Amino acid sequence: MLPFVAEAQLSNTPKTPMIYPETKKENVKDTYFGTTVTDPYRWLEDDRSEETKLWVEAQNAVTKEYLAKIPYRNDIKERLKKLLNYEKYSQPFKEGGYTYYYKNTGLQNQSVLYRQKEGGEPEVFLDPNTFSKDATSSLAGVNFSKDGSMVAYQVSDGGSDWTKVIVLKASDKSVVGETLTDVKFSGIAWQGNNGFYYSSYDKPAEGSQLSGLTQYHKLFFHQLGTAQKEDQLIFGGDKTPRRYIGAGLTEDERYLIISAANSTSGNELYLKDLKAKDGAIVPVVANFDKNHNIIDNIGTKLFIYTNLNAPNGRVVTVDAANPGVENWKELIKETENVLSPSTGGGKLFANYIKDAVSMVLQYDMNGKMEHEIKLPGIGTAGGFGSKKEDKELYYTFTSYVYPSTIFKYAIANGKSEVYKKSGVDFDPSNYESKQVFYPSKDGTKVPMIITYKKGIVLNGKNPTVLYGYGGFNVSLTPAFSTANIVLMEQGGVYAVANLRGGGEYGEKWHLAGTKLQKQNVFDDFIAAGEFLIASKYTSKDYLASMGGSNGGLLVGATMVQRPDLFKVAFPAVGVMDMLRYHKFTAGAGWNYDYGTAEDSKEMFEYLYKYSPVHALKPGVKYPATLITTADHDDRVVPAHSFKFAAALQRDQAGDAPVLISIQTNAGHGAGKPTDKAIEEIADRWAFLFYNMGVNYKK
């Protein structure tokens, strides 16, 4: 039976019972280690079927009608437009006599790439707003040849991870050669001006290009003027099957660097001397145990970042003639803080995370510390990279109460000056951020930063959003969000917890939230909510959970485990079916963090217990939930969210709504047009205030 559209009923209170589109059930079963698991909504995994299309349309109709009847949704949307309508700039970078930078005049759907010669007028170089009629095609990457005369840029259509590559002469922007297609998870590494390295997968053998399994990456060299079908396979394929392969060249273009991995953590490292006649690809590290990257070279001396024997990271050197681990010499030692190094102006910049905030030190290439960069406050600094001959570089600084600001940094004396201030209408002096350390279930101290407008009363009635991620070694460091102004203007609180599974305290912190320890992540998040309630920032009637991708899994798992703790839940583009996630696109690469249901009986039972789709129980009052996904999300396929929405609508016992918003011509998040972003944020805040019974004040 095909789904039908039922009118969403909405009154002046959020307690009116909902009527949802019908979602048919099928008798689909799988057996894992003797346990039978039903999967009644598997038909929703077929993103090409007419049935799925009709279901999506029916769900969107109910969601749009519900949201449209919230009386202040348009007020929130107009406020967002006003807040976002200011000029936004990226850090500038220099290529071939030009300074390039991205600029958005305010409400442009896509930022425009400009260039400018010293003393000259800015000119538009690439305008992604012209790539498609609805501005859903975006610029996914721009790479120049060393002298800046050639450029290859990638275009993503509808937010997909699949891109096409177009090559231009930078001087007159004339197109060179054919457009490359079916490129995915790839940088562009130029070798001279005649060709470049890039990575891609074969098209999926089964399923659609947006959901089919992509198994093995391949590294190619494309010679300009030749057809893509003639491109030379450099690494990967049948002889060396790897799930992820990336390539880069040292700045002097002497060495080709190849990184290969089968999961999101741990990589092999290979090197090829391009000046040597018939130079072979030689291994530097021939296993996947740790993470490594060549960050620079001086002649044959290589500078390598690694976390081998250093969970928080260090920098070592080695001669390219004998690059094996046994020959590495330590240059910058591991510290108690997590290291992310970069290079510029012939210097090394050690960007450390200290309790989830930035500390940056400048070293010479012999490992001598020269300066600590004086940052304007406690927050996140990034972008310390430039060419070797540069005398200055640019970096950004931001925090939850400090709008992103670009600084110019003089490498010789370590002095910073403001280059571009943010134009957002926001007075930081009216707001404050406070870092706390709260105990998780097992006693582990977890940091959290809580941000709000000064003067709020801690009476348990402040609408509060708890945000988290907790996975894949990702560190959540402070960053300003214009969207959050709307929440805080209404007396709201924004809290970000630095959960285990992330990278805030290095490899140990990451591993403590993976596989059979994944429950630690959920416990950390639940404990954060309990802390906020105990500290009177909020209460169960005013607490919302929010997260995307792996953070969507976090929201889904914790609202199922503790439905009483949250009033509202926002799982975005989440990984919701933990038994089948690895069967779609590049999902199999996530097994380092999650494990798979086929690994062992123990791993299956662990995943099955917390998998949001499977852990739901009928007759439970779950929070008001707004699930968000997109039809072109080929990172976390929308079937995860479809199946979770269907199961949650089926099992919801309370009056709280369970809605799903499925954006069309949109993907996992990158390149999303401004108008779509505004709609999504307005929906979120309207849904939050309405279901908390908060009266939005203009």
Q: What is the pLDDT of residues 231-249, one digit of tens each?
A: 999 999 888 999 999 999 9
Task: Check residue 499 and report its DSSP letter.
Answer: -
CA–CA dist 338, 358 (Å, integer): 10
Mean pLDDT rounded to a whole number for the chain: 93
Residues β-bridged to residue 546: 467, 570
Spatial separation of the C-alpha atoms in residues 338 and 474, rounded to whole Å: 12
Q: Which of 549, 611, 641, 661 is catalytic?
A: 549
Q: For residue 652, what pLDDT is reported?
A: 97
Q: Are 67 and 73 in contact (CB under 8 A)?
A: yes
Q: Is 412 exposed, middle or buried, given 0-12, 13-18 or 19+ CB atoms closer than 10 A?
A: exposed
User: pLDDT of 383-416, one tens digit each?
Assistant: 999 999 999 999 999 999 999 999 999 999 999 9
Establish whether 668 is a catalytic residue.
yes
Whole-number pLDDT of residue 10: 38
**pLDDT tens digits, 484-500:** 999 999 999 999 999 99
Cβ within 8 Å of residue 4, ≥6 positions away: 21, 22, 58
Model confidence pLDDT, tens digit, residues 561-581: 999 999 999 999 999 999 999
Instruction: Using the predicted structure, report yes or no on whether residue 11 has a pLDDT greater than 60.
Output: no
- Whether 217 is a known active-site residue: answer no
First-residue to last-residue Cα distance in the chain: 45
Percentage of residues in the chain having pLDDT higher than 70: 95
In the numeric block, the tokens 């997590």 are attached to 338
